Amino acid sequence: MPELPEVETVRRGLAPSFEDARIVRVEQRRPDLRFPFPERFAERLTGRLVTGLGRRSKYLMADLDDGSVLVMHLGMSGSFRVEMGRVESEEPEMPGEFHIPRSKDPRHDHVVFHLEGPARPDAVRIVYNDPRRFGFMTLVERAALASHPLFEKLGIEPTGNQLDADLLARLFANRKAPLKAALLDQRLIAGLGNIYVCEALHRAGLSPKRAAGTIVTKAGRASAGAERLALAIREVIAEAIAAGGSSLRDHRQADGTLGYFQHAFLVYDREGAPCPRQGCGGTVLREVQGGRSSFFCGRCQK
């Protein structure tokens, strides 16, 4: 499943076409994805002006001029592509050293937004393609967004300075769950996924198996490990966003290019490789925790 950096990369790729554009037509080509579409979905979107495109955790959110929000989730294999002009055969612009052709099998093009706006000289089509159909779209009133079941229990975002060592200490105090499980708990921190948790824990020198509460002192304050972890999380997320995310399996950026961050993995998916920490001499291990693979060094991550 695309993680926060991938979703933020998609948001940035879509924003120039989506924001300040009017939705002149919507092609809804099936009644459902993971869930049924809202009633009159295409009708309710037609004619609406997109005033902004944001992200909360792994959800894309398009604010509309009637006070509603189009909430979109990519699921396992969902992706968008931007097509310029009115000719169906035109190819989307796909720069990038790691470019490979995007899948445009029309059987999996489930929603097409036809847009017109001041930022583009011609019409734009934004096509949502989802072979596995685990993604979904819904409409929520902006005033009710915080209390909506999708969002009401989400924790803080792992971007920006709000996530610091003191916050981790408050969140993890007295928690006996493994540190990795606590970091993946969306009620505590929203948007962290398996890849970036593995990478951040390695940078911080912390084992994914240790109890979350052990990075908090007996006095309830942040330990040096909590300081390292907070910094590592912010750095890993920022670097992954800057690199365009990690191109694993189905993820592509909105312009069709692959992300670069997978080339910077230190431990994720590197079972048996030497630990990259200078002077460590350990080996990257793989263990399953909570149904997910943890990649870590058993020597330098304590």
> Distance of alpha carbon 92 from its chain centroid, rounded?
22
Measured CA distances, 273 to 131, 132, 265, 266, 277 (Å): 33, 33, 12, 10, 12
What per-residue string of b and e applies to 3-12 under the rule 16 or more CB within 10 Å gives b?
A: bbbbbbbbbe
Is 6 annotated as catalytic?
no
The answer to whether the beta carbons of residues 216 and 172 sit under 8 Å apart is yes
Q: Extract long-range pairs of 262-268: CB within 8 Å, 24+ residues apart.
A: 264/239, 265/195, 265/199, 266/199, 266/202, 266/203, 267/198, 267/199, 267/202, 267/295, 267/296, 267/297, 268/194, 268/195, 268/198, 268/199, 268/295
From 2, 5, 158, 208, active-site residue: 2
Is 274 annotated as catalytic?
no
From 48, 58, 102, 180, active-site residue: 58
Separation of alpha carbons 193 and 3, rounded Å: 6
Is 2 annotated as catalytic?
yes
Q: Return the closest-CA partner of residue 232 out of 191, 213, 204, 254.
A: 204
Q: How many CA atoms lie within 13 A of 259 on its CB side?
A: 30
Q: Which residues are catalytic?
A: 2-3, 58, 292
